[in-house]
Amino acid sequence: MIDEFTDLVQDLTARWPEHRVAPSLSRVGALCGLLGDPQAAMPVIMITGTNGKGSTAIMVDALLRSAGLRTGRFTSPHLESVTERIVIDGQPISEEDFVRTWEDIAPYVAMVDEQRLDGVTMTFFEVITCMAYAAFADAPVDVAVVEVGMGGLWDATNIADAAVATVLPVALDHQHLLGDTLEAIAAEKAGIIKPGARAVLAGQEPAVASVLMERCAEVGAVPIREGVEFGVLGRIPGVGGQVVRFDATNGALGELFVPAHGSAMARNAAAALATVEALLAGKPLGHDVLDEGFARVRLPGRLELVRERVILDGAHNPAATIASRDALLEAYTFEPLIGVAAMMRDKDVEEVLRLWEPVMAQIVCTQLASTTRCLSAEELAQVAEGIFGAERVRVEPSMVEAIDIAVHASEDDLGNGGVLVTGSVIASGEARSLLVQDEVDPEFDGTTFEETASADEPFLGERGFGDHGPGENE
């Protein structure tokens, strides 16, 4: 079965790749129609935005399971195995079930391929999306939590009519596909808001907020806005995460531990809570249910501490980098901090490096083994030298050697140094496969939370949807 799974993954990834988008729902619509529309077999929550989609989906999933619902979760990309994309009741699909799901739909995929709708056979992302909906329908699950791949309007996941559409903060990214203005990108992402849905809207730039509210009015969706109907009232950073006070359906909810760092993650947690309450038609969740749900949250590759003083983070655009940088400085006191970076060609490489430069003593530029989309280590170093200075830049094409160089460079007499692997989700995944083995996902053990600060977050200010809530951008 292992060989069969490996061969299947190779065949699927040989299709039109994920970074090449064929903007049409014609092929997924045809396939889902042949499969009996599995995406309609359960209520669907869809989550879009520029950053934070995956972590919010994980939180939504955990809260729903704590409320007694059986869940399916679809996210992308994966860190180490494609099976991570299809999660049922908290567990990635097995390789055997992955193969079985493919075998069930393969004849119908072939039928759609033969039609070459819009001149294209089914892409990898389209196939894996339909596999997820089919697996959820077969399980069956009570609700599907679906992370949009890119944009929203024409994304393959949008073949479903979401009961709840969650739009996280919108920033500039993928401009060559989504548009070069915030308004254009917001219009694409607003496409997941369907008639009669509940729309959970994170705080946005005013221009984005206007686009999203216009979409809600156009289709008769009910907006649930950060800073008005929900939000973060305050938070206390601490060991392993933070204690957060939320503004929720029934007013303030206090003293909930969220095992993730930074104000952006606190806002993601607030959006996750609002999303679950929206699905449950405003039914409040008990404090015990919420406590258990957040305690279940595991966020691999998101400021994840592994191997003592090595951290993995997939920030790959300026907005995500700001959020990760601020959270890192809040949660850790590494001195020196050595970066290991690998980045894709189509990202704002220079700006991301500029954001990291003040906090990294050195940077080791490397490259990815699993894709040709990335800059070579030498190309990345050339950009880095113009920002860090040549004396602070090292070049090592091998990820394992790059991490080794960084670990040794971080060592000092006081043992306060640390290493951050960042620049792309794939970089985090490749590093994780090297550093994390025989992983166990333990249940929350009730460890006492230790407070390390006590200050409320600043207010929402000029961001859209309200006059209170956290003010930092993601």
pLDDT band per the 50, 70, 90 thresholds, residue 283: confident
Strand 418-422, strand 337-341: pairing:
parallel
Using pLDDT thresholds of 50, 70 and 90, give the confidence band for residue 174.
Answer: low
The single-letter code of the amino acid at 323 is A
Which of the 8 DSSP states describes residue 392?
G
What would the two tokens of residue 325 be?
């940088």
Q: Judge whether residue 344 has pLDDT over 80.
A: yes
pLDDT tens sequence across 199-222? 999 998 899 999 999 999 999 999
pLDDT tens profile 2-32: 789 999 999 998 887 655 666 789 999 999 9
Tens of pLDDT, residues 315-333: 989 989 999 999 999 999 9
Asked if residues 270 and 203 have their Cβ atoms less than 8 Å apart, the reply is no
Backbone angles phi, psi at 246, to 5 degrees: -110, 150
Peptide bond before 470: cis, by omega within 30 degrees of 0? Answer: no
Q: Which of 8-22, 28-42, 115-129, 362-376 has the highest mean pLDDT?
A: 28-42
Is 179's pLDDT higher than 80? no
The reported pLDDT for the residue numbered 63 is 97
What percentage of the chain exceeds 90 in pLDDT? 72
Q: Which amino acid is at 243?
A: V
Mean pLDDT, residues 271-296: 92
Q: Please provide residue 204's backbone torsions phi and psi, each rounded to the nearest 5 degrees.
A: -130, 165
**DSSP code of 190?**
G
Which tens digit of pLDDT belongs to each residue from 220-279?
Answer: 999 999 999 999 999 999 889 999 999 987 788 878 999 999 999 999 999 999 999 999
Phi, psi of 227 (to 5 degrees): 90, -10
Task: Produce one character per residue of 192-210: b if its CB has 16 or more CB atoms within 10 Å, e if not.
Answer: bbbeebbbbbbbbbeebbe
Distance (Å, rounded) from C-alpha 269 to C-alpha 465? 17
* Residue owning tokens 């609700």: 143
Instruction: Give the pair of three-digit tokens for residue 102.
Output: 């493919």
pLDDT for position 436: 87
Phi, psi of 435, rounded to the nearest 5 degrees: -105, -20
pLDDT reported for residue 177: 58
What confidence tier does 178 reach under pLDDT thresholds 50, 70, 90? low
Residue 227 falls in which region: left (phi positive, over 0), alpha (psi -120 to 50) or beta: left
- Dist CA 161 CA 56 (whole Å): 19
Nearest in space to 258 (alpha carbons), one of 229, 237, 283, 230: 237
Which residues are 253's β-sheet partners?
A: 246
User: Is the pLDDT at 449 greater than 60, yes or no?
Assistant: no
Residue 176: pLDDT band with limits 50, 70, 90:
low
Can you give the pLDDT at residue 437?
A: 74
Outline where DSSP puts E strands in 118-225. 143-147, 164-167, 198-201, 222-225
Cβ–Cβ contacts within 10 Å for residue 104, how many? 14
DSSP state of 455: -
CA distance 429 to 301: 7
Separation CA 90–CA 70 (nearest Å): 9
- Residues 296, 267, 337, 395: what is their CA dihedral angle, to the nearest 10 degrees? 90
Dihedral-angle region of residue 232 (phi above 0 means left; psi in -120 to 50 means alpha; beta otherwise)? beta
Q: Name the pTM for this structure.
A: 0.89
Q: Alpha-carbon distance 29 to 108, whole Å? A: 12
Per-residue tokens: 166: 């969650």
At 173 the pLDDT is 59
Tell me: the pLDDT tens digits for 60-109? 999 999 999 999 999 998 888 999 999 999 999 999 999 999 999 999 99
| Domains in the chain with CATH codes | 2-295 (3.40.1190.10), 302-435 (3.90.190.20)
Is residue 188 packed enough to be buried (19+ CB in 10 Å), middle (13-18) or exposed (0-12)? Answer: buried
Answer yes or no: is pLDDT of 137 > 50: yes
The separation between the first and the last C-alpha atoms of the chain, rounded to the nearest angstrom, is: 42
Q: Is pLDDT at 447 greater than 60 in this prediction?
A: no
CA nearest 401: which of 369, 439, 353? 369
Phi, psi torsion values for 461, nearest 5 degrees: 60, -120
Mean pLDDT of 442-469: 37
Mean pLDDT, the chain, rounded, equals 88
- Please give the single-letter amino acid code of residue 208: V
Least confident interval from 60-69, 71-80, 137-146, 355-364:
71-80
Q: What angle do CA 244, 193, 220 make, to 5 degrees?
A: 105
With 90 as the cut, is the pLDDT of residue 184 above it? no
The pLDDT of residue 466 is above 80: no
Residue 182: pLDDT above 50? yes
Give the pLDDT of residue 134.
Answer: 98
